Amino acid sequence: MIVLASGLSGPDDLLYLAADGRVMVGEHGDGRLAIVGGPSRLKRLPQVIGEAEGIAQIGSTIYVADQLHNRVVALTGSGVRTVIQLQPDPNGLNLDGITSNGTQLIVPDSPHGTVLFVDPSGHVTARQTGLNRPAGVWANPAGQPGPYLIADENASAVYALKNAGGFTLVAGNLPGVDDVARDARGHVLVTLPGLGILRDVTTGGNVAAGLRNPQGLDFDGAQNLLVTESDNGRVDLIVRTFALRVPGAAVRLLPGQGVCLGITRARGYAAPLSVGQITGATVTRAPSGSGSFEVLPQPCAAAVCTVAVIVTSPAGRELAYFTYRD
């Protein structure tokens, strides 16, 4: 496990931003949105949401579930726009983790046991009722129709929605299940916050245990698992294929000095790796079976310069950034 970020305020749901390899995290404690990764390693957006929960994306627009006010907002510059306002729960147990199928938002109206399909204008196009407390939703990332997966917290179960309406049980006996996702192999994974467990319900085995209130769940570009530990204030990366390790920020280089980038492979993952794209440097030693490869950054005339690299594999791609100065 690699800790990608720490010191966050109750990190809850997260979203992998495939375009640049960064991760957006909702900080439930203070309503902020943190961006993990990229040249700055960690930064916060100017918007304050209330209680930032689920995060989804359609095109270039980011949508966030505001649990405090029981609404979904779209980020607009330094502000927000309300997309849909739901009926608040008198006990404050409002909506939870949203997602999108590429064209619509899938919004769990958690206190009312309903899942809503909402277009970007805020119009409800369909709904599924009869659930207990839907807390997390997974939709096919390719935007194809069903089966969508629903983590029902109060039912301790995961359900699959039928294309024609209704739902079927995927797995039960999952106390307090909060989020759900399906990987490229078809395995269904869930977070169990009260037990501190990330579980593969397809095999029945635990992927990780001893976590402190695991909440959000997503995959990075190479099918590694991203998970938040809300009580630890952390975002973790569980390596299932490979991950890249970069030097500390603004590393000081001598003229002509190369930089080694580390490679962490999951046990048994020996697939070939190659550099698909690099900016700000050239590759002097390509990825191989070893635990690192080397790049030569360009001369840096600015106070700080950035190298961005994409490494590809059969599992997908990993993006990494590091900053340096001469």
Domain boundaries in the chain?
Answer: 2-238, 242-325
Confidence of residue 39 (pLDDT cuts 50, 70, 90): confident
Q: What is the pLDDT of residue 234?
A: 97
Q: What is the pLDDT of residue 143?
A: 60
Per-residue pLDDT at 144 exceeds 90: no
Per-residue pLDDT at 74 exceeds 70: yes
Q: What is the pLDDT of residue 141?
A: 72
Pairing of strands 197-200, 305-313: unpaired
Q: Quick check: helix, strand or coil at residue 8? A: coil
Range with the poorest average pLDDT among 11-15, 221-225, 251-255, 280-284? 251-255
Per-residue pLDDT at 146 exceeds 90: no
Return d(Cα 35, Cα 127) in angstroms, integer.
32
- H-helix or E-strand spanning residue 77: none
Question: What residues are paired with 35 via a beta bridge?
Answer: 24, 43
Pairing of strands 22-27, 11-17: antiparallel
Q: What is the pLDDT of residue 140?
A: 82
**255 vs 98, more confident:** 98
User: Which structure tokens are listed for 210?
Assistant: 């001893």
Q: What is the pLDDT of residue 40?
A: 86
Query: What CATH number belongs to 2-238?
Result: 2.120.10.30
Q: Which residue's structure tokens are 């530990």?
A: 229
Non-local (6+) Cβ contacts of 17 within 8 A are: 23, 24, 57
What would the pLDDT profile of 272-318 be if each residue is shown by its tens digit? 999 999 999 999 999 977 788 999 999 999 999 999 999 999 999 99
Q: What is the pLDDT of residue 264?
A: 96
Q: Quick check: helix, strand or coil at residue 317? A: strand
Q: How many CB atoms lie within 10 A of CB 262?
A: 14
Q: Residue range 14-21: average pLDDT?
A: 94
The fold of the 242-325 domain, in CATH, is Immunoglobulin-like (2.60.40)
Per-residue pLDDT at 42 exceeds 70: yes
3-state helix, strand, coil in the chain (%, to 5): 5, 50, 45
φ and ψ of 162, to 5 deg: -85, 145
Q: Report long-range pairs for 302-309 (Cβ below 8 Å, ≥24 apart).
A: 304/250, 305/280, 306/39, 306/280, 307/259, 307/278, 307/279, 307/280, 307/281, 308/39, 308/277, 308/278, 308/279, 308/280, 309/244, 309/261, 309/275, 309/277, 309/278, 309/279, 309/281
Q: What percent of the chain has pLDDT over 70?
A: 98
Q: What is the pLDDT of residue 165?
A: 85
Report angle CA 128, 215, 212 to the nearest 5 degrees: 150
Per-residue pLDDT at 81 exceeds 80: yes
User: Which structure tokens are listed for 113?
Assistant: 């046991």
Q: Where are the alpha helices (DSSP H) in the chain?
A: none
